[in-house]
Amino acid sequence: MKIVMLGAPGAGKGTQAAMIAEKYGIPHISTGDIFRFNIKNGTELGKEAKTYMDEGKLVPDELTVRILLDRVSKDDCREGYVLDGFPRTIPQAEVLDGKLREMQDGIDFALDIEVPDEHIVSRMSGRRACLNCGATYHVRYAAPKQEGVCDACGGRLVLRDDDKPETVQKRLEVYHDQTQPLIEYYAGKGVLKKVDGTQELHKVFADIVKILEG
């Protein structure tokens, strides 16, 4: 079961990816985590990626796919995996598909967690993070016992720059421009499935399970 998670930033795809991974015993693979692992452990791929990052350049799609394929070739991925945060663009998806075809493999499901922009702006601007321990809350869905104070350590809670409405709006614009075309791409491959991401967390997951087991 090879799955790609799609959806705007803040749609909840990372949370759902983690729940899928836990239920089916397959790895939740985030490109950010793979990069950090390879760089920290000084692998050849990590060293290559670091040369670009040290110069402030984007890691080329071809190298990113090589790092990803190295990860999915591990024994724990035999039964499948959930890709979170990759591919982000059509060229990345094309390179990935080409390499998977060479391995006589392919993506089984592309799950699009659909959430309107206004929901995402509201959802993300309600987040609060503890400056001290990093715990996160939401003023509406998971409020701390005392406003502005972390339940865990008593630290001050703040609205992070990444979650400010103007920043979220910019991230959404990039998503619609670069990443949303992947929805049509995977629809053309016959593997796209849409899920209503405005529902309660466990209802979204129940809908995903129906798709995967249907």
Full domain range(s) for residue 78: 2-115+179-213
Structural domains in the chain (count): 1
Q: Which residues are catalytic?
A: 13, 88, 127, 160, 171
Q: Do the Cβ atoms of 71 and 85 come closer than 8 Å?
A: no
Which two structure tokens, joined as six digits, stand for 191?
Answer: 């593997």
Question: Which of these, 213, 179, 203, 214, lies nearest to 16 by C-alpha position?
Answer: 203
CATH code, domain with 183: 3.40.50.300
pLDDT at 182: 95
DSSP string for residues in 103-151: TT----EEEEEE--HHHHHHHHHTEEEETTT--EEETTTB--SBTTB-T
**C-alpha span between 203 and 151 (Å, rounded):** 27
**C-alpha span between 90 and 112 (Å, rounded):** 15
Domain membership of residue 82 (yes or no) is: yes
Domain membership of residue 183 (yes or no) is: yes
Domain membership of residue 8 (yes or no) is: yes
pLDDT at 172: 92
pLDDT at 10: 87
Domain membership of residue 126 (yes or no) is: no
Domain membership of residue 162 (yes or no) is: no
**C-alpha span between 174 and 185 (Å, rounded):** 17
pLDDT at 35: 87
pLDDT at 140: 86
Please tell me the number of Cα atoms within 13 Å of 60 on its side-chain side. 7
Domain membership of residue 33 (yes or no) is: yes
pLDDT at 111: 97
User: Longest C-alpha distance within the chain, in Å?
Assistant: 55
pLDDT at 27: 96
Domain membership of residue 102 (yes or no) is: yes
Domain membership of residue 109 (yes or no) is: yes
pLDDT at 146: 95
Residue pLDDT tens, the chain, 214 long: 999 999 998 899 989 999 999 999 999 998 888 888 999 999 999 999 989 888 888 788 888 888 998 998 899 998 999 999 899 889 899 989 998 898 888 999 999 999 999 999 988 899 999 999 989 999 988 899 999 999 999 999 999 988 899 999 998 998 899 889 999 999 999 999 999 999 999 999 999 999 999 8
Q: 149 forms bridges with which residues in the sheet? A: 146, 156
